[in-house]
Structure 1
Amino acid sequence: MLSTESEDEKLQRHRKLFLSIDNGKSGQISLKSFRESLKSQNHPLKDSQYAIGELFQSLDTDGDHLVDFDNFRRYVLQAEQQIEAGFRVLDKDEDGKILKSDVEKYLKTTLGVDPAPEEVDVFFESLDNGHRGYVSYEEFRDTLLLMPRLQGSRIKTAFRFFNDELENLSSEGDVTVGDDILNSVGYFLAGGLSGVVSRTCTAPFDRVKVFLIARTDLTSTFLHSKEEIRHIIEEQKHQELAESKIKSPIIKAARSLYRQGGLKAFYVGNGLNVIKVFPESAIKFGSFEAAKRFMCKFEGVSDPSELSRLSTYSAGGLAGVVAQMAVYPIDTLKFRIQCAPLESRTKGGRLLFTTAKDMYKEGGIRLFYRGLIVGIGGMFPYAALDLGTFTTIKKYYIQREAERRKCSEDDVKLPNYLVLSMGALSGSFGATVVYPINLLRTRLQAQGTFAHPYRYDGFFDVARQTIKREGFPGLFKGLVPNLAKVAPAVSISYLVYENLKGLFGLEVK
C-alpha cells in the first residue's frame, strides 16, 4: 500500500476536503457553488466551464444535480484507486517517488504527448509541492483528485491545464481558446443575431413610428410634394368617406405608406437597420455581460447573480450608452432615409449613398452625431430599465423556482413563453419612460428633411417648438406603434439571445 493512513484518518481527510469546497456549509454543493469554490481556491480548472461541468458530473453520482458528502466520498474512493494505479505505473523502481524523468517518459511513451522541456518543468513543479525534486504519492494524489478524466487520463488533463491558464480542453480533449474569450465572443455574436432577427420581424412597426414622429400633425400622415398635391387632393376626394371613418393616426399612416409604396414601404431603411442593429445589439448584450463582471469586482462578489440591483441596472445603462455611441451615425442616416419622399426615383443603395453625401455636404461629420447627447440621455435610462428589469425578474423567478423544486439554481431554465413575457414587460416599461426624449432626439436627427422640414437649435429648442405646436401629448406621438414594436421586438430579442446562449454553451447568469 502506498498510503499508511487508517480508514478513520482517510474518512477525516475526505470530510475535510469536502468542507473546503462546500462554501455554503449546507452539506450540499451545486454546480454554481462548485465553480465559485474552485475559483476562490485558484484551482487550475477555475476558468474552464466544460472541465468543471465534467468533474461535477462525476461527483454527482446519483444524478440529482447536488453533491453531498456521500456522493463526494464515492467519487473520491474510486478516483484514489485510479490515481494509485497511475502512480505505480510511473514509479518504476517502486521507491514511492516519481522523478521528472519519469513524468516526461510517461507523457511521451504512454500518453503520446511531445512536451517542451519548459512544459515538463511547469507540470512537475506543480506536482512537487514540497520542492524536493521528487513527487510523493500523497502529493500526486492530492493534485489529481479534483481533475476530470478527459480522454480517460487525469495526468494528461492536469498537464494541459497547469501549462496554460488561458487554454482549456474541449469535449474531445483538444486545446481550444480560453472559455473567457469564447464567452465574450459568444455573447457578442448571440446579441447581434438576436437583434437582427428581432428588428427584421418588427420593421413595419418601426416604419410607422418614424412616420408619425416626423410629422407634426395627424393630417400629414399623407406624404406629398408640391408637384403631386393636386393628384393627392383628387385621390382624397374619392376616399373621403372611407377616411372619415378612420380616426386612428396609426391606421392612417399605415394606409398612406401602403398606397404609396406597397409592402416594400414598410421595410424602407430595414437593410440599413440590419447593418446597424447587429453591432448595436452585439455591443449592448456583450457590454452588459462585461459590465456585470466589472461590477462584480467593484462590489467584491464572485458571480453576476450576486450583484445588487443598483449595479445590475447601472451595467445595463452603460451597455446601452456604449452601443448607442457606436452606431449613432448609422441611426441618423436611417432616419434621414425614412424621411425621404417615397415617390423619389432614387432607391436602395443609391439612396443610401446620396443621403449620406448630402448630409456630409450640409454639416460634415457633426451632422451624423446631431442629438447624440440627447440620445445618450435617453439610452442610459432605457437600457438600464430594460436590461436591469429583465435580469431582476429572471433572477427572482429562478430563485423562487429553485426553492420550490428544491434544486440548484443552475438547473432552473426559463421557459420560452416566460422569456417573451419578461422581455415585453421590461422593454415596454423602459420605452414608455424615456419615449419623450427619444422623440425629441429623432426630430433633431430628421430636421430639415422632406417629412420634417423644421429646424432646431438644440434639445431645448426642439422641446419648446414641439410643445408649442402639439402640446404635451405631442411628446408621446407614435408611442402606441412604438410599444407595438418594442414589446415583440424586445421579446424576440431576449428569446433568441437566451436560446443562443444555451446553444453556444455560454454561462447563463
Structure 2
Amino acid sequence: MASDDVVGGSNTVAFRQTPPLYAESKEAAVSTFVNLAEEAKLASEGVKAPGHAVLTICKSLFAGGVAGGVSRSAVAPLERLKILLQVQNPLHRKYNGTIQGLRYIWNTEGLRGLFKGNGTNCARIVPNSAVKFYSYEQASRAILWFYRQQTGNEDAELTPVLRLGAGACAGIIAMSATYPMDMVRGRLTVQTENSPYQYRGMFHALSTVLREEGPRALYKGWFPSVIGVVPYVGLNFAVYESLKDWLVKSRPFGLVEGEDLSMVTKLACGAAAGTVGQTVAYPLDVIRRRMQMVGWKDASSIVTGDGRSKAPLQYSGMVDAFRQTVRNEGFGALYRGLVPNSVKVVPSIAIAFVTYEALRDLLNVELRISD
C-alpha cells in the first residue's frame, strides 16, 4: 500500500495511461507470436515440401498410368485389328473390315489372338500415359504463367490454342520417352507363324532389333510420330478441356448451375476429343506404322509393275512413304483401319480422361488438369 500511496499527482495520470500502453504491448506480443508461429509453420512446410511434392508427383503418375492401361486393355482387339489393316499386303488381303477382321482373328487365333501384343502395349502405354498426363499438367501451368506475365492479367485462363500447345508438348515428351516400346509392340502385334522373326516378348524383340538392325531401328517412324502427336494429343487435351470449360460456364442442355459435370458428360467430352484428334492425325499414324515395318523382311510388301509379284517396302523417309503409299494403293490407304480405330479411340480416350480424373480425386491430389 505504501508504494500505492506514493503514486499521486501527475504520477496518477501516468498510472491511468498504463492500461492502453499495456494493451498495445500485449497486441504487439500477440502479433509477434503469430508471426513466429507462421514462420515456424512455413519452415516446417519447407521441410516437408520435397516429400510432399514427390508424393504428389507419384500420385499423378500412378493415376495417369492406370488410366492408360485400363483404357487400352478395354479396346485391345480393335487396336490389333487397326494395325493389321494398316500394314497388310494389298495383294493378299485378309482383313476387309471391323466385324470380318475380328471374326477372322477369332477363328484363326482364338481369344489370345484378339489380345496379342496387349501386354507389350500396356508396358508401353502405362508409362506413356503417366508421363503424358503429368507433362500436360506441368506444361499447362508453365504456359499459363508465361501467358499471364505477357498479358499482365493475373486472372487470365488458358485458351484452346494454349491448351493445344500444352498437349502437344506433353505428347512429344511422352512419345519420345517410350517410342522403342511402341516400335516393337507394332511388330509383336503384326507377327504371325510365317513372320521372319518370332519375337517372344518385348525384351526379346528389343534385343533382336538391336542386334539385327541396330539402335536406330528402334526409332524408325519417329519423325512422323512427332508430327502426328502434335495434332493428336494436342487436340485431345484442347478439345476435352475446352468442352468441359464451356459446359461448366454456359450450362447448356439443362445442366444445373453449381453441380459438377457427371461421368457421362465427361465421357462425351472425351469421345469428342478422341474423334477430332484421331481423324486429323490418322494418316501420319499409318505412315509411322509402315516405316516401323521396314527392315523386317516380308513383313510388308507392294505390288510391282507387272501387277503380279511383290517386293519389300523400302522408304527413304516420311515424304517417300507418303508418296509410295498413295501411288501404289491410292489416297484411301492413308485412312485404312480408320473405322476400327474410330471405334477404339472414342471409348479409349473417354475412359482414359475419366479414369485419370477419378483416380486423382480418390488419391486427393490437389491439382487436376482442369485447374
* TM-score under structure 2 length normalisation: 0.80
Report how far residue 486 of structure 1 moved. 0.3
Match of 2:179 among 328, 334, 338: 328
* Residue pair 2:195, 2:299 contacting (<8 A) in 1 also: no
Q: 1:197 to 1:159 in 2, by over 3 A?
A: same
Match of 1:177 among 41, 44, 51: 51
Q: 1:404 to 1:139 in 2, by over 3 A?
A: farther
**Partner of residue 315, structure 2:** 456
Question: Take 1:305 and 1:181, find their aligned partners in 2: how far apart are those partners?
Answer: 28
Q: Secondary structure at the match of 1:455?
A: coil
Q: Secondary structure at the match of 1:456?
A: coil
Residues 1:220 and 2:93 aligned together: yes
In structure 2, give the amino acid aligned to 1:297. Answer: W
Report how far residue 250 of structure 1 moved. 2.5
**Partner of residue 140, structure 2:** 292
Q: 1:440 to 1:404 in 2, by over 3 A?
A: closer
Match of 1:209 among 76, 82, 94: 82
Q: 1:404 to 1:382 in 2, by over 3 A?
A: closer
Report how far residue 185 of structure 1 moved. 2.6
Report how far residue 267 of structure 1 moved. 1.0
**Partner of residue 291, structure 2:** 444
Question: Take 2:50 and 2:290, find their aligned partners in 1: how far apart are those partners?
Answer: 49
Match of 2:343 among 484, 493, 496: 484
**Partner of residue 356, structure 2:** 497
Question: Take 1:383 and 1:208, find their aligned partners in 2: how far apart are those partners?
Answer: 22
Match of 1:137 among 23, 30, 36: 30
Deviations 1:73-130 (A, max 9, x none): xxxxxxxxxxxxxxxxxxxxx88757xxxxxxxxxxxxxxxxxxxxxxxxxxxxxxxx
Report how far residue 344 of structure 1 moved. 7.0
Question: Take 2:113 and 2:195, find their aligned partners in 1: how far apart are those partners?
Answer: 12
Report how far residue 370 of structure 1 moved. 0.8
Residues 1:255 and 2:103 aligned together: yes
In structure 2, give the amino acid aligned to 1:268. Answer: K
Question: Take 2:317 and 2:121, find their aligned partners in 1: how far apart are those partners?
Answer: 25
**Partner of residue 428, structure 1:** 275
Report how far residue 311 of structure 1 moved. 1.4
Q: How many residues align?
A: 331
Structure 2: give runs of 5+ residues left out of the alignment.
1-21, 302-312
Report how far residue 460 of structure 1 moved. 1.4
Q: Secondary structure at the match of 1:323?
A: helix
Deviations 1:288-314 (A, max 9, x none): 000011012211279898122221110
* Residue pair 2:67, 2:352 contacting (<8 A) in 1 also: yes
Question: Take 1:196 and 1:480, find their aligned partners in 2: how far apart are those partners?
Answer: 22
Match of 2:169 among 318, 324, 327: 318
In structure 2, give the amino acid aligned to 1:488. Answer: P
Report how far residue 194 of structure 1 moved. 0.2
**Partner of residue 227, structure 1:** none
Question: Take 1:322 and 1:272, find their aligned partners in 2: how far apart are those partners?
Answer: 20
Q: Percent identity?
A: 30
Question: Take 1:304 and 1:482, find their aligned partners in 2: how far apart are those partners?
Answer: 40
Q: Secondary structure at the match of 1:166?
A: helix
Q: 1:352 to 1:288 in 2, by over 3 A?
A: closer
Q: How does 1:343-492 map to 2 (within 5 A)?
A: 350-401=200-251, 407=258, 412-449=259-296, 450-453=298-301, 454-492=313-351
Report how far residue 137 of structure 1 moved. 3.2
**Partner of residue 61, structure 1:** none
In structure 1, give the amino acid aligned to 2:87. Answer: A
**Partner of residue 244, structure 1:** none
Q: How does 1:35-184 map to 2 (within 5 A)?
A: 135-140=28-33, 143=35, 158=38, 160-166=40-46, 177-178=51-52, 180-184=53-57
Report how far residue 283 of structure 1 moved. 0.6
Report how far residue 218 of structure 1 moved. 7.7
* TM-score under structure 1 length normalisation: 0.60
**Partner of residue 270, structure 1:** 118
In structure 1, give the amino acid aligned to 2:58. Answer: V
Structure 1: give runs of 5+ residues left out of the alignment.
1-93, 99-133, 145-154, 169-174, 223-247
**Partner of residue 308, structure 1:** 159
In structure 1, give the amino acid aligned to 2:292. Answer: Q
Deviations 1:447-475 (A, max 9, x none): 24444142211111211111112111111
Question: Take 2:186 and 2:229, find their aligned partners in 1: how far apart are those partners?
Answer: 17
Match of 1:190 among 63, 71, 74: 63
* Residue pair 1:305, 1:395 contacting (<8 A) in 2 also: no
* Residue pair 1:211, 1:221 contacting (<8 A) in 2 also: no
Question: Take 2:295 and 2:197, find their aligned partners in 1: how far apart are those partners?
Answer: 19
Deviations 1:222-271 (A, max 9, x none): 6xxxxxxxxxxxxxxxxxxxxxxxxx532332233222210101111111
**Partner of residue 310, structure 2:** none
Question: Take 2:43 and 2:70, find their aligned partners in 1: how far apart are those partners?
Answer: 41
